[in-house]
Amino acid sequence: MLAAWSLPCCFTILLGLLELCRAQYEHLGYPHGYPHGYPEPEQEQYSAPELPPDTPRIQLRLAGDKRKHNEGRVEVFYDGEWGTVCDDDFSIHSAQVVCRELGYLEAVSWSPSSKYGKGEGRIWFDNVQCTGKEKTLALCTSNGIGVSDCKHTEDVGVVCSDKRIPGFKFINTMANNVQSLNIQVEDVRIRAILSSYRKRIPVTEGYVEVKDGGKWKQICDVEWTKHNSRVICGMFGFPGERKYNARVYKMFARRRKPSYWDYSVNCTGNEAHVSSCKLGHAVAAKANSTCGGGTPVVVSCVPGRAFSPTPMTGFRKQTLVRLRGGAIVGEGRVEVLKNGEWGTICDDNWSLLSATVVCRELGFGSAKEALSGGRLGQGMGPVHMNEIECSGFEKSITECFFNKESLGCSHEEDAAVRCNVPAMGFQERVRECVCVCVRACVRACYNGQSSIPIALRLSGGRNPNEGRVEVLVERNGSQAWGTVCSDGWGTMEAMVVCRQLDLGFASNAFQETWYWPGEVSADPVVMSGVRCSGTEMSLSQCLHHGAHLTCPKGGGRNAAGVSCSETAPDLVLNPQVVEQTTYMEDRPMFMLQCAYEENCLSTTSSETPANSYRRLLRFSSQIHNNGQSDFRPKAERHSWVWHDCHSHYHSMEVFTHYDLLSLNGTKVAEGHKASFCLEDTECEEGIEKRYECANFGEQGITVGCWDTYRHDIDCQWIDITDIKPGDYIFQVVINPNYEVPESDYSNNFMKCRCRYDGHRIWMYSCHNGKAMVHQPLVERLFYIRHSVLLHCSTTLLDLKGHFTHK
């Protein structure tokens, strides 16, 4: 009975997922779900090349110091020997021929002068000139195979697209040297076989299948090793592999006849992608398809803790490494903890091999890309490691060989990674919610797992990166699109939407979307009370009201909206400047009139006579933009506020909080909620200032520049008149209300130890780190606690009524 129900159900789900792929623009009336200006690419089918009989038979591969699997030094296998190609006369058309011969859809770029390292052996081709239409590099005009006057310092490299040619089939022209060739197939997958694994997300166990010539085929396990499994699991976002029940799969293979690929696989275990593995022996399949007594290859992968089915299982390791500044889970600038201080890694010799060690250490799979040049933002503090060399089997990046001297390295050379992460799909299955305790209620009932699976689209925007947020839910037995209530909708929620849609960072969160008209049928609110921490991978993982919708403003024109961007700013306060500039001043009240009007003094100052003094803790702050885009105020110019006392416009009324806290985190001196004018005070060499407050100028902080607020300007202090002598914690929070989206909020906090004896003050041990107490975060947590208790109470009452009825 169950099997009879499952087949049509699975078929319906597959059809639904197919529709979701086109759903984002379907409502706009565009053909195939693509808007004007975003045409669907033509799917070119692969056809095997027909070569003239006298064409030299060659094979190609991408080798060298790669930073992603689809790039590298072009190497040619001919006459039993691997060699290289000289960069003389090489062009993007030649790169196109190379990439297509390797099965990639097109070439992205090419690089001369041995960018990927110097090769060895012969230089097979020189002065290569292609039109881009040739079926093989051997058909391009050249000096002739093996005729060259180049050195290996001129070895050429290419970068190919991620996409493979549909229907691509590997053709071996080197029957006697097959084990020297790299694997070239259209695609690879793990296909869940057992029913218990078909229902799981992510898929962690099943057959390893390759797509060759448009058909999926299994691999014979006769020569399969743990190293091969390690590479496959890493490709799919898993840090390790484990044993499985082989008997069950042997029984399954007897019942269903496998279709085997022609070759075995030979990996060393440190490859980031199977395309870097070598072909094994050709498989001589018998008539009964038993591959010489073997069975289809099965892998069972261990997911990282963030992707495991239950919170207490999966790969777990305390690590001294973290990622910062990435738009999605599994990418970011690599930072290492050393001597209690977080620092970065210099990109000298940074490779895919070293990046893979970082990814696996953090519970992800192998590295998809090793990034250099501060591509994901620049860090602060020391550069801890340089010229890293890893074998690929280290448990931690700290076990790799590295140069402890980082001379010549700056944060412009900070290394970063993009890791392979499991395909979660964010299509959670519906399940009955039964709360057996408050903790279970919070985790299961309120966290979206009991609600309808959430698929998202952006509707009505001028481009695919903006629009009204619409959610696909089940309504009256059918699926329908609806809106999200904008009450409390902010930057953190927008960040999650952009991440789920793979659109980068949020650039704006909107609580009104009347200017983005969508379908009237999608106006009703289907999701309310959304509260995100900003780190979730899907909106369904955020807290929300579930089926108990509450939205006084309604949907339609008041629905939530977002705009997304590939880049974001990242503000970081320099703690050394604070520590070095701190001092105490007693200032007469009559000289603090402007500061009093802007609420920069303690509340007790209202009762202070004009001839008395206020004691001020003064300091300078230097705020750097280490991100990838300029930091701009949320408010438009027409809404900036003019302040007569200071004679300039304030574009952000709340830009920084200053607080003095007791050692247990209690606020003892009122934090100054500073309203500043944003401008470029200084910039790094080669970067031009763009923002200046004078003459109603544009405000902001350019990437690579910093805004300095000197200790001697108004409001650059904390009023400590009323505090007693003792030890305290001084805390600064930048962009405290998250008004402006950033790539990393964790470095917006700075803390110092502070000692006050009633006459003098000392500031020491200043560092960036998490806040001890942060009011917007406290308010958010209070809201979440209140909403959870309210929701759980309602759910428990519903369950009580349900069981009473039963």
Amino acid 344: pLDDT: 92
Q: Which residue has the higher pLDDT, 805 or 150?
A: 150
Shared-domain flag, residues 220 and 298 = yes
Residue 467 lies in a domain: yes
Q: Domain count for the chain, please give it.
A: 5
Q: Evaluate whether residue 104 is within a structural domain.
A: yes
Q: Dump pLDDT digits (tens) for 111-147.
A: 999 999 999 999 999 999 999 999 999 999 999 999 9
Torsion (CA) 591, 596, 599, 605 in degrees, nearest 10: 100
Which residue range(s) make up the domain with 365? 321-420
Which residues touch 55 (CB under 8 Å, ≥6 apart)? 136, 138, 139
Confidence of residue 48 (pLDDT cuts 50, 70, 90): low
Residue with the two structure tokens 């009201």: 545
Residues 6+ positions from 680 with CB-CB distance below 8 Å: 689, 690, 691, 692, 700, 701, 702, 705, 706, 707
Query: In this predicted structure, what is the pLDDT of residue 671?
Result: 63
> Is residue 169 within 8 Å of residue 212, measured between CB atoms?
yes
Q: Is residue 805 included in any domain, yes or no?
A: no
Residue 73 belongs to a domain: yes
Shared domain for 695 and 759, answered yes or no, is yes
In degrees, rounded to 5, the angle at the alpha carbon of residue 680 between the alpha carbons of residues 677 and 683 is 160
State the pLDDT at residue 94.
95
The CA distance from 258 to 255, in Å, is: 9
pLDDT of residue 652 exceeding 50: yes
796 phi/psi in degrees, rounded to 5 = -65, -40
Tokens representing 203?
């898929």
* Span of 99-103, 281-285, 341-345 with lowest mean pLDDT: 281-285
* Residues 551 and 578 both lie in one domain: no
Give the model confidence (pLDDT) of 243-255 as tens digits. 988 888 888 888 8
Residue 175 lies in a domain: no
Same domain, 561 and 578: no
Instruction: Specify whether the CB–CB gap between 344 and 411 falls below 8 A.
Output: yes
Residue where a domain terminates, one of 522, 540, 565: 565
Q: What average pLDDT does range 6-25 have in this prediction? A: 41
pLDDT of residue 435: 28
Asked whether residue 758 falls in the same domain as residue 616, the answer is yes
Q: Which of 278, 307, 336 is the last residue of a domain?
A: 307
Q: Give the residue with greater pLDDT, 649 vs 747.
A: 747
**One domain, residues 403 and 506:** no
CA–CA separation, 86 vs 146, rounded Å?
A: 11
What pLDDT, on the 0 to 100 scale, is given for residue 28?
Answer: 35
The dihedrals phi and psi of 522, each to the nearest 5 degrees, come to -100, 5
Among residues of the chain, what percentage have pLDDT more than 90?
44
pLDDT of residue 51: 79
Beta bridge partners of 767: 751
Non-local (6+) Cβ contacts of 804 within 8 A are none
> 404 and 378 share a domain?
yes
Residue 697 lies in a domain: yes
630 with 758, same domain: the answer is: yes
CA distance 110 to 91: 7
**Between the CA of residue 275 and those of 104, 170, 187, what are the distances in Å?**
12, 12, 10
pLDDT at 283: 74
pTM of the model: 0.76
Return the CATH number at 381: 3.10.250.10
The better pLDDT of the pair 81, 789 is held by 81
Which residues, including other chains, have CB under 8 Å from residue 801's CB and lie 6 or more apart?
none
Top pLDDT among 689 and 305 is at 689
Same domain, 396 and 343: yes
Helices (H), ranges, 468-608: 491-500, 575-581, 593-597
Tokens coding 318? 């305390």
Evaluate whether residue 206 is within a structural domain. Answer: yes
13 pLDDT band, cuts 50/70/90, is very low
Q: CB–CB of 372/418 below 8 Å?
A: no
Q: Report if residue 8 sits inside a domain.
A: no
**Mean of per-residue pLDDT scores for the chain:** 81
Residues 522 and 585 in one domain: no
283 and 197 within one domain: yes
By percentage, how much of the chain surpasses pLDDT 70? Answer: 81
- Residue 575 and residue 561 share a domain: no
Which range is least confidently modeled, 158-167, 411-420, 657-666, 785-794?
Answer: 785-794
Which contacts of 761-769 are long-range, i.e. CB under 8 A and separated by 24 or more positions?
A: 761/582, 761/583, 761/584, 761/617, 761/720, 763/578, 763/579, 763/582, 763/619, 763/730, 764/579, 766/575, 766/576, 766/578, 766/579, 767/341, 767/575, 768/342, 768/380, 768/381, 768/572, 768/573, 768/575
Q: Are 25 and 33 in contact (CB under 8 A)?
A: yes
- Using pLDDT thresholds of 50, 70 and 90, give the confidence band for residue 598: confident
